[in-house]
């Protein structure tokens, strides 16, 4: 029972990062963050899949999740400010990891939207956990659990978005 509950807390903790990572597909679009610029290798710095609207919208929506989270489980966070700062760091971390992932994909010549197994599913998670670490962290068992289940959630969410017509590829 205690084991199950620790896994549920891990989901609760990481929720803002999942929301931040999932929302750009709906709220993104428009001007790309790299402004269309090329890196020294002649390829795009990040590509058209990374937009300002996706970044700002995703960070905002993910951060907003911290508010209901605090009111539902105040003891888990201690204060509203902690919950919001944590949600912001998880969200910003998730989308920063996503940008780093795209930067790496462009450097190895993968076009926008091409799958990069591992990077696509875990980059955002590792970066979110790292940025949030100073405020509040999980124990190592919970982190391992998230590393194992997040790729499946990521694939499931992307398949759903594809079926809904929000995305052109199911990954
Ligand atoms: N998106 C966005 N801004 C971001 C991140 C994502 O607008 N900062 C939107 C884009 O429409 C993108 C979609 O969400 O196509 C899905 O995100 P993702 O799979 O991360 O991007 P890809 O198109 O696969 O691009 P990349 O190959 O660079 O990962
Ligand atoms: Mg993708």
pTM: 0.97
64-84 tens-digit pLDDT: 999 999 999 999 999 999 999
Name the pLDDT band for 15 (thresholds 50, 70, 90): very high
Instruction: Name residue 38's beta-bridge partners.
Output: 44
The encoded tokens of residue 67 equal: 């508010």
For residue 12, give every residue at least 6 positions away whose Cβ sits within 8 Å of its Cβ, in sequence order, or none: 69, 73, 76
Q: Is the CB of 55 inside a 6 Å radius of any atom of ligand 1? A: yes
Distance 146 CA to ligand 1 centre (A): 22
Instruction: Summarize the confidence of residues 15-44 as an average pLDDT.
Output: 98
Ligand 2 center to 111 CA (angstroms)? 10
Distance 12 CA to ligand 1 centre (A): 24
Instruction: Judge whether residue 46 has pLDDT over 90.
Output: yes
Ligand 1, atom 21, lies closest to the CA of 49
Q: Calculate what percentage of the chain has a pLDDT beyond 90.
A: 99
Probe ligand 1: pick from 43, 50, 100, max atoms within 8 Å of CB? 50
Cα separation, 66 vs 74, in Å, equals 11
The pLDDT of residue 1: 81
DSSP string, 7-64: HHHHHHHHHHHHHHHHTHHHH--SSBTTTT-B-TTSSBSS-TT-BHHHHHHHHHHHHH
Q: Is 154 in the pocket of ligand 1 (CB under 6 A)?
A: no
112 lines ligand 1 (CB under 6 A): yes
pLDDT digits (tens, 9 = 90+) for 103-143: 999 999 999 999 999 999 999 999 999 999 999 999 999 99
Pocket of ligand 1 contains residue 47 by CB under 6 Å: yes
Rounded Cα–Cα distance for residues 128 and 139 (Å): 15
51 pocket-lining for ligand 1 (C-beta < 6 Å)? yes
Q: Is the pLDDT of residue 6 over 90?
A: yes
**What is the spatial distance between Cα 104 and Cα 119, in angstroms, rounded to a whole number?**
9
Q: Note the pLDDT of residue 137.
A: 97
DSSP-assigned letter for residue 51: B
**Model pLDDT for residues 80-112, shown as the tens digit of each residue:** 999 999 999 999 999 999 999 999 999 999 999
Q: For residues 162 and 73, what is the distance between their CA atoms, to the nearest angstrom? A: 33
d(C-alpha 72, C-alpha 169), whole Å: 35
CB 96 less than 6 A from any atom of ligand 1? no
């Amino acid at each position: 029972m205690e084991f199950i509950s620790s896994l549920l807390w891990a989901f609760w903790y990481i929720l803002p990062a999942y929301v931040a990572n999932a929302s750009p597909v709906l709220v993104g679009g428009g001007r790309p963050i790299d402004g269309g610029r090329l890196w020294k290798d002649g390829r795009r710095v990040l590509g058209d899949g990374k937009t300002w609207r996706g970044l700002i919208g995703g960070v905002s929506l993910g951060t907003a999740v911290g508010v209901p989270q605090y009111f539902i489980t105040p003891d888990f966070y201690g204060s509203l400010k902690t919950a919001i700062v944590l949600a912001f760091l998880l969200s910003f971390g998730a989308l920063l990891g996503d940008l780093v992932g795209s930067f790496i994909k462009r450097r190895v010549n993968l076009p926008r939207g091409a799958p990069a197994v591992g990077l696509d599913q875990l980059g955002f998670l590792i970066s979110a956990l790292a940025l949030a670490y100073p405020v509040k962290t999980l124990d190592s068992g919970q982190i391992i659990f998230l590393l194992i289940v997040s790729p499946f959630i990521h694939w499931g969410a992307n398949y759903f978005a594809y079926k809904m017509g929000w995305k052109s590829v199911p990954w």
